[in-house]
Amino acid sequence: MLLDPEEAIGHDVHGRTDAAVLVPLYLRDGELHAVLTRRPDSMRRHAGEVSFPGGRQDDGEDLRTTALREAEEEVGLPRADVELLGALTPLPTLATGYAIYPFVGLIEPGMEWVLSPQEVEEVIEPSLTALRAGFDRRRIVRRGIPLRTDVYIVGDAFIWGATARMLSDLLKRLGAVTLPS
């Protein structure tokens, strides 16, 4: 079961900067799919990484609004086309000092993505079944430090870090939910 957004916002997360992401899901042929982005290699932070659309909270902005605004800016997903279903457990990023608040939203399948070229290289739309099947635990080296972490590998997408932790939370919360098509 997803968290109530108000409950999620109330969590105190260790991080210098509050940020929010949207975890867009859609149903196609009876199967849920997630919408993720691959960052351009030219980015200063998180270059080439796979993540959910999101970013820093603007002054005076509600975290739900941040998630919706960032998804609209990064992939052209109109805010009005997202039905917020709930939230995942907020979490810190270890290397960059963000407190990330993930919100789960349902969208229609077949969206036409309009990518922000500065922030998004491509959109990746794996099924939750493919994500579950792509789970592994790997040793990776990050900033010269080896660590053993959960990862998801789907096609050429290598998902790790905060995004992998969000996916694990999502998959655990949704369990074996199957929705009618």
Domain ranges in the chain are 5-126
Mean pLDDT score of the chain: 90
Is the per-residue pLDDT at 125 higher than 90?
yes
**What pLDDT is attached to residue 167?**
96
Provide φ and ψ at 122, rounded to 5°.
-160, 160
**And the tokens for 51?**
């993540």
Is the per-residue pLDDT at 37 higher than 50?
yes
Place of tokens 């080896």: 146
pLDDT level of residue 181 (50, 70, 90 thresholds): very low
Burial class (CB in 10 A: 0-12, 13-18, 19+), 110: exposed
**What pLDDT is attached to residue 111?**
95
| pLDDT tens, residue by residue, 3-28 | 888 888 888 787 779 999 999 999 99
Strand spans (E) along 29-129: 31-34, 36-38, 50-51, 54-56, 83-87, 91-92, 98-106, 122-124
Mean pLDDT of all residues in 62-73: 97
Is the per-residue pLDDT at 178 higher than 60?
no
| pLDDT tens, residue by residue, 48-59 | 689 999 999 999
Mean pLDDT of all residues in 133-159: 87
**What pLDDT is attached to residue 89?**
95
- Longest Cα–Cα distance in the chain: 46
pLDDT level of residue 180 (50, 70, 90 thresholds): very low
Q: Which fold has domain 5-126?
A: Nucleoside Triphosphate Pyrophosphohydrolase (3.90.79)
